[in-house]
Amino acid sequence: MSDNERSMASFISSLFRRRNAADGDAGRRVSQHLLLLAVVGVAVVCALVYTQADSPLLSVYRMVWVVLCSIAVTGYYTLGHRKGELNTGRALLCVLVTLGQMSIIYLINSVWPAIPGVEAWHKLLVMPYMLAPAVTAVLINRSMGVYVALCCTLFGVMFFPASYSAQVIADYVLLSLLTGVVSAAICGHLQKRQQILYAGFKTGLLVFLVTLVLVSLHGDNSGLSLEKLDAARMLTLCIMTVGVNFLLAVIVNGVMPMLESLFGISTHITWLEWADMNHPLLKKLQITAPGTFHHSLYVQRLAEAAAEAVGADVTRAGVCGLYHDVGKIKNPQYFSENIVDQTMSPHAELTPEASARIITGHVTEGVQLALAHKLNPRIIDVIREHHGTTTAYFFYRKALDNYEEAKKKFDDGLTDTCPDEVDKSIFTYPGPIPQSRESGIVSMADAVESATRSLHHPTEDDIRNMIEGIFKGRILDGHLQSSGLTLGEIALMKESFFTTLRTMNHNRIAYPKPQTGDAASLLAQKRNTEEKAGES
């Protein structure tokens, strides 16, 4: 390794050490918040359990169960989930929806004994098994929905009175865990809000079928044997189980926008809605700046492929790629991708400083447009960060050349006025540098796609060298040091960009033109002659 390579490696390492130190401080603060929320949640569950128990000894036993289960599920989360998956807002959501489901179970167990003529086992048919797992799966992800389903199942066991048989509790565990996991799996990657209602119907149908299996296994001990289950009772049972879960799905669908706004969470469904090409901003971009729109489509494709390669949010990266250049709607004619004839560029009549203000201004104008259309804050962050604090180098270099030329004339005595030195800040984007993985991915996809357009009939080596050069420059400038992307992930990004660009820039086969003596050409000439003869 040469001295230059060693110094570069040392510099890169120092950048990422500083970033990791800052991330570590932020991570410790978040961990403290999560621990506090978990403790508060467990304390509330213990309080509910205490009021439900029949004796102090039973209360202590059940509270110990809750604490041990909390430790167990925390260990499960630590081992089975990715670091940084939860922040304070998402953890608060998990705690609140779990407490909400526990409170409903508490109320059902408190009120049910006062209802005459019903069996204890029948209450299992109206339990809100899918409520917390479905909300968590839709708002966070599928794995967290399964985690919440496990928490609700373990905690819910302690809310049943001591007089209930082990069979009823075992049936509850089966129904709660199975229904919670299935509803989380169904709701974890929905494409439309209406699908939540289908998830409720499917979950209710599952509860009905599992109930029939349990009835057949338990017989008279369940209070509802198969002999007593005539057509009317079976219809009532089906309506009850499917209806309760469908109602829960309606509630989840209704409160989803409120929860998204309250906790600052955007669901996969919401991100897909922003990707709709009928969105006013995207439609205006297509009409006003078609070149920029097609550039954004390419950036979207590059960003999605890179996000999938490094394990980032694919949908979020793609949507941010679509909107990153919406600020060019204001002055589309000044951006090269919208200029048909580069020899007629409007920048020829402007000073480099004026051109730079227009070019760098598309970031601020994009943020203003995004705020006006109430886009997600993460999209706005990417618009603001995708150029970081880089320089509009073409115009900066042009300004330096003009300065050197004017300075030479002054030194030679050809002019009386000494030119002012070039102010680099005029040519520098306002920043900040990318603060998230998706922002870093979009910024690099934007740079790589723009550079690819300048290559004429590029070979694979040209594409790879171009990508390496761009990444090397951005890393040395510290552009990615706050993005959360590791060096290993950056390597995966480069390979993903290369693969995607190689596919996008493949050369088509040059089909030979038909010769005069070809059979097809002779046949066409014959047909033309016959048609003319017929017309005459």
Residue 425, Cβ density class (10 Å: 0-12 exposed, 13-18 middle, ≥19 buried): exposed
Same domain for 475 and 494, yes or no, is yes
Can you say how many angstroms the Cα of residue 349 is from the centroid of all Cα atoms in its chain? Answer: 43
Q: What is the CATH number of the domain that holds 252?
A: 1.10.1760.20
450/443 Cα distance (integer angstroms):
11
Of 265, 281, 308, which residue sits at a domain end?
265
Phi, psi torsion values for 391, nearest 5 degrees:
-115, 140
Q: Residue 465: count other Cβ atoms within 10 Å of its Cβ.
A: 12
Same domain, 236 and 344: no
Residues 6+ apart with CB under 8 A from 68: none
Residues with Cβ within 8 Å of 299's Cβ and at least 6 positions away in sequence, in order, are 321, 322, 324, 325, 442, 445, 446, 449
Here the tokens at position 176 are 């709660």
What the block records as the tokens of 394 is 């073409």
Q: Give pTM, 2 decimals.
A: 0.70
Handedness of CA 304, 309, 311, 312 (dihedral sign): negative
One domain, residues 250 and 317: no
Weakest mean pLDDT among 141-150, 307-316, 524-533:
524-533
Tens of pLDDT, residues 78-90: 766 655 566 777 8
Last-in-domain residue among 239, 265, 291? 265
Amino acid at 57: L
Q: Is residue 516 a part of any domain in this protein?
A: no
Task: From 245, 265, 285, give the residue that closes a domain.
Answer: 265
Per residue in 153-177, pLDDT tens?
988 888 887 777 778 888 888 889 9
Does 112 have pLDDT greater than 80?
Answer: no
pLDDT tens digits for range 367-401: 999 999 989 889 999 999 999 999 998 999 999 99
Q: Are residues 301 and 288 in the same domain?
A: yes
Integer Cα distance of 333 and 328 in angstroms: 9
Position 20 in a domain = no
User: Dihedral angle at the C-alpha atoms of 42, 47, 53, 58, nearest 10 degrees?
Assistant: 60
Residue 6 has pLDDT above 70, yes or no: no
Q: State whether 160 and 78 are in the same domain.
A: yes
Cα separation, 280 vs 246, whole angstroms: 34
Strand, helix or coil for residue 209: helix
Tell me how many domains the chain contains: 2
For residues 194 and 207, state if they share a domain: yes
Q: Measure the CA–CA gap between 357 and 353, rounded to whole angstroms.
A: 6
Same domain, 69 and 160: yes
Cα–Cα dist 382/365, whole Å: 13
Same domain, 208 and 303: no
Structure tokens at 202: 């499917």
167, 244: one domain? yes
At 535, the pLDDT band (50, 70, 90 cuts) reads very low
Cα–Cα distances in angstroms (integers) from residue 319 to residues 264, 350, 467, in the given order: 17, 34, 23
CB 156 within 8 Å of CB 164:
no
What's the domain range around 82? 27-265
* 246 within some domain: yes
Q: Are residues 244 and 348 in the same domain?
A: no
194 falls within a domain? yes
What is the spatial distance between Cα 240 and Cα 205, in angstroms, rounded to a whole number? 10
Q: What phi, psi does 189 have (nearest 5°)?
A: -150, 55
Q: Between 18 and 352, where is the model more confident?
A: 352
Do the domain assignments include residue 185?
yes
Is there a domain that residue 1 lies in? no
Between 385 and 525, the higher pLDDT residue: 385
Average pLDDT rounded to a whole number, residues 110-134? 75
With beta carbons less than 8 A apart as the criterion, state whether 108 and 127 touch. yes
Residue 515 domain flag: no
What is the rounded distance in angstroms from the CA atom of residue 322 to the CA atom of residue 267? Answer: 18
pLDDT at 390: 93
CATH of the domain at 374: 1.10.3210.10
pLDDT at 5 over 60: no
My answer on whether 294 and 258 are in the same domain is: no
Domain assignment present for 456: yes
296 lies in the same domain as 256 = no
Contact by Cβ (8 Å): 160, 168: yes
